[in-house]
Amino acid sequence: MKYGISKTVNLSYEEAVNKVTEELKKEGFGVLTSIDVKETLKKKLDVDFDKYIILGACNPPYAYKALQAEYELGLVLPCNVIVYEKDGKVTVSAFDPNVMTYIIDNPKLKEIAFEVREKLERVIQNI
């Protein structure tokens, strides 16, 4: 099952991180968390890893609506967006919120997930 919306971009890693953050803002998302995986793995395990960041993106109106429909949805929030560099190529990916509708049996979430997916697709397309 494909669970992400992805695109390889012609930007440096740093440019891609900045651009994805800008595009998320245009769609009403803020970045609540930022995990530098490369730095964390070096610090905790003393291993080298590619440049890789996990951005925890949140669109408050949609998060509120979704939490009203499914109180325990916080288990899969915020929306994760990743940027990584592997073999000289930079990729940007967002978790597809429609995947949640396969594991959470709540019809109210389908419309919300669809709308959030459209926003995340635009973010990825515009990078």
- Interval 13-46: pLDDT, tens: 999 999 999 999 999 999 999 999 999 999 999 9
Q: Is 85 in a helix, a strand, or coil?
A: strand
Q: pTM of the entire structure? A: 0.94
Looking at the chain, the whole-number percentage of residues with pLDDT higher than 90 is: 98
Give the domains, in start order, of the chain with CATH numbers: 4-125 (3.30.310.70)
- Interval 51-84: pLDDT, tens: 999 999 999 999 999 999 999 999 999 999 999 9
What is the structure's pLDDT at 56?
98
